[in-house]
Amino acid sequence: MPTRREDWTTDIHDGVTAYSMAGSGPAVLMLHGFPQSRAMWYPIAAELIAYHTVVLADLRGYGESQKPDQNRPQDCAAYSFRAMADDLLTLMRDIGFDRFHLVGHDRGARVAHRMALDAPQRIASVTLMDIVPTHLLLTELSHQVAQSYFHWFFLSQPYPFPERLIASDPDYFFEACLLGWGGARLEDFSASQLATYRTAWRRPETIFGMCQDYRATLKHDLTADMQDLERRAECPALVLYGADGAMAQHYDVPASWADRLSDMRSSTIPGGHFFPDTAPKATAEALISFLSRCS
């Protein structure tokens, strides 16, 4: 059973989506969040590959995946959750998986929710980690959440304002994000994963891509979610959230999803927003238990 990163098959699909794959059995696609990359999943995926074919993908704009439209910063449509979902649906089809389980954390969970709505026939189950619905967060915004999640509105400012400020010290900015939203310490993160994150977020094109992701949420994703308020994802769903994170402090997280997921289970994991990094064993156990009931 491959457990080391170098044992995984890695590629960039059609020059767009960087991914790694290992294991055998029913397919599971795992999507990271901000400000990370697919490297966040390696400790968890090492447990899952005993039961599943696991595919780890970098979202568009992140990690080693494509960062389009750098010459047209005013156009962020390519970074919408729907555009990212289309990348990943194409990837999974082309590597041989018409139907698969889907796991997402943070931004990856928002892409996963969009995929479950747009392509229900493709998704066997969905796991959403430490988010409330985008529409709820943006339309019923309290000052406490705005203070905790200020980065949504900073990163979405017009180009090149946030890019220039972040580029002056990207490690300071992004590590401050990792240490927020639930009280993690830098030593709680794997040194090898931190090194991979830093390599990516120090690149100007990655900073740009992450800002475009947040710009697209305000310009495109909120509208798409408003149009789909009456729709529910019909597949089995697991909502996991950090027991000490900002979402748990400010929301009843399961209740926020009750009218958007038809078949929902929920549970907490010790830690804050970045519990997949800081509590990988507990996260893997929760996923294995849920996926075993869905296979």
Which residue reads 């970098």 in tokens? 58
Angle at alpha carbon of residue 263, lines to 148 and 82, rounded to 5°: 55
Q: Alpha-carbon torsion 127, 285, 44, 275, what sign?
A: positive
Side-chain-side CA neighbours of 20 within 13 Å: the count stands at: 23
* Tokens matching residue 64: 């080693």
How many other CB atoms are found less than 10 A from the CB of residue 264?
18
* Tokens matching residue 262: 């038809």
Residue 124 sits at φ, ψ, to 5 deg, of -80, -35
What residues contact 278, with CB distance under 8 A and at least 6 apart?
A: 184, 188, 189, 271, 272
The full DSSP string for 52-69 is SEEEEEPPTTSTTS----
Catalytic residue among 220, 221, 273, 277: 273
* Tokens matching residue 242: 């950090």
- DSSP secondary structure letter of residue 157: S
Please check whether residue 25 is in contact with residue 52, taking contact to mean a CB–CB distance below 8 angstroms: yes
Burial of 285 (0-12, 13-18, 19+ CB in 10 A): middle
**CA 142, CA 92: separation in Å to the nearest integer?**
38
Catalytic residue among 58, 87, 106, 277: 106
Does the active-site annotation cover 273?
Answer: yes
Does the active-site annotation cover 106?
Answer: yes
Active site residues: 106, 273
